[in-house]
Amino acid sequence: MPYVDLTTTAAVSPDKAAALKAGFGKVIESFPGKTENWLMVRISGDEKLWFRGDDSADSAMVDVHLFGTVSAGESDKMTAAVTELLGRELGIAPDRIYIKYSGYEYWGWNGRNF
């Protein structure tokens, strides 16, 4: 039950959104047992973000929410993959990207909790 929420200053065309969604579907497998089958993705492009007080270059904030715990090794692997994905698809420099991981003990779906 992963959820990836991307907020970026970059314009995101429908083709880029589809490529990002597919990319997130692959990189979520950095976490054991997580697949695109349960992945929900939100992409918000053309947003106002200031990084270090500066909005002269594109930036991104990625929130990754997971059912269960988040390990350092798994999140390191995903951070590298997400950074590469955002660079390739949107041209965002690695030093303009933040990625935050949150693990949750309770996660609801289909009228009940897991």
Q: What is the pLDDT of residues 17-45, one digit of tens each?
A: 999 999 999 999 999 999 999 999 999 99
Dig out the tokens for 19 from the structure. Answer: 């490529």
Q: What is the pLDDT of residue 1?
A: 86
Q: What is the pLDDT of residue 24?
A: 98
- Model confidence, pTM: 0.94
CATH topology assigned to domain 3-113: Macrophage Migration Inhibitory Factor (3.30.429)
Q: Where are the domains of the chain?
A: 3-113
Q: Which residues contact 3 (CB under 8 A, 6 or more apart)?
A: 39, 40, 41, 42, 63, 64, 65
Which residue stretches of 1-114 are H helix? 14-27, 72-90
Q: What is the pLDDT of residues 39-81, one digit of tens each?
A: 999 999 999 999 999 999 999 999 999 999 998 999 999 999 9
Q: What is the pLDDT of residue 89?
A: 98
